[in-house]
Amino acid sequence: METKVSIVLVDDHVIVRSGLRSLIEILGNYEVVGEYSNGKQLTDAINAGTPLPDLLIMDLEMPIMDGEETMRWLQKHKPELKVLTLTWDTSERKIIELFRLGVRGYLLKSCTADVLKKAIDDAHTTGYYHSELLQSAIIKDMQEKGERQQVNQRITDREKHFLQLVCDKQEYTYDQIADMMQVHKRTVDGYRESLFDKFNIKSKTGLVMFAIKHGLVQM
**What value does the mean pLDDT take over residues 174-190?**
91
Average of per-residue pLDDT across 30-54? 95
- Specify whether 113 is located in the same domain as 199: no
φ/ψ (deg, to 5) at 173: -80, 165
Count of structural domains within the chain: 2
Tell whether the model's pLDDT for residue 139 goes beyond 50. no
My answer on whether 206 and 116 are in the same domain is no
Task: Specify if 148 maps to a domain.
Answer: no
Q: Is the pLDDT of residue 96 over 90?
A: no
Window from 22-31, 152-161, 184-193 with minimum mean pLDDT: 152-161
- Interval 186-191 mean pLDDT: 90
- The sign of the CA dihedral 149, 155, 160, 163 is negative
* Range with the poorest average pLDDT among 88-97, 129-138, 155-164, 176-185: 129-138
Mean pLDDT score of the chain, rounded to an integer? Answer: 82
Residues 128 and 178 in one domain: no
Look at the chain and count its residues: 219
Q: Does residue 186 register a pLDDT over 50?
A: yes
In this prediction, residue 212 carries a pLDDT of 72
Phi/psi for 8 (5° steps) reads -115, 140
Q: How confident is the model at residue 132 (pLDDT cuts 50, 70, 90)?
A: low
Q: Which pLDDT score is estimated for 144?
A: 56
Same domain assignment for residues 118 and 165: no
CB 24 within 8 A of CB 34: no
18 and 115 belong to one structural domain: yes
- pLDDT of residue 206 exceeding 90: no
Of the residues 138, 163, 194, which one is the last residue of a structural domain? 138
pLDDT band at 108 (very low <50, low <70, confident <90, very high): confident
124 belongs to a structural domain: yes
Q: Mean pLDDT across the stretch 187-207? A: 84
- 135 pLDDT tier (thresholds 50, 70, 90): low
**Does residue 143 form part of some domain?**
no
| Nearest Cα to Cα of residue 99 among 155, 154, 138, 48 | 138
Provide the domain limits for residue 186: 155-213
Residue 218 lies in a domain: no
- 118 with 25, same domain: the answer is yes
pTM confidence score? 0.60
Q: Hey, is 205 helix, strand or coil?
A: helix
Do the domain assignments include residue 146?
no
Same domain, 38 and 113: yes
| H helices present in 37-172, as ranges | 39-47, 67-77, 92-100, 113-125, 132-154, 157-166
